[in-house]
Amino acid sequence: MRQRATIAGIERRTAIIGILSAAALSIFAAPAIGFACALGSVFMIINFFLLALVGGGILALARGGTAPLAILLIPLKLAFFIGVSYLIIARLHANVPGFVAGVLTQFVAIFIEVWRASPGAPALENSGIREKRI
């Protein structure tokens, strides 16, 4: 049975990729770059988690009839995260390329999780030869 891509699966995969990327950058580049990569990865995990909460809040508010107020939640969350990313870069003096590498771990995790759940991907529970379907 094929699984669907889930928010928890994407967040889990982002954490794994973020840890591996931060460790590799710390070893092969510089510890400051690895730390910034870890910050970017954590930043995106929190952002994705809050996006799920805001999306659920919008759906709940839309059912109640106050949808115009619910639509303001996404731009407010976006403005909040733009401010937080500025503070991470400006106040913590995080390495910008490392931070961007950490942010990109979210997109890699999404691609991997969607590929894993796609109909054309090999099934994880079937380790034998797949039969051809005509």
- Taking the CA of residue 75 as centre, how many other CA atoms within 13 Å lie in the half-sphere pointing to its CB? 5
Domain count, the chain: 1
1 within some domain: no
132 within some domain: no
125 within some domain: no
Which pair of tokens denotes residue 31?
């510890």
17 lies in which domain range? 7-116
Q: In Å, how far are 17, 24, 121 from 104, measured between CA atoms? A: 10, 15, 23
**What pLDDT is stored for residue 124 in this prediction?**
52
Residue bearing the bigger pLDDT, 123 or 10: 10
How open is the CA angle 113-115-120, to the nearest 5 degrees?
145
97 within some domain: yes
64 within some domain: yes
pLDDT band at 39 (very low <50, low <70, confident <90, very high): very high
Q: Which helix (H) or strand (E) holds 22?
A: helix 7-28
pLDDT digits (tens, 9 = 90+) for 65-110: 665 666 777 788 889 999 999 999 999 899 999 999 999 999 999 9
Other residues' Cβ atoms within 10 Å of the Cβ of residue 119: 6
Q: How far is CA 93 from the centre of its chain?
A: 23
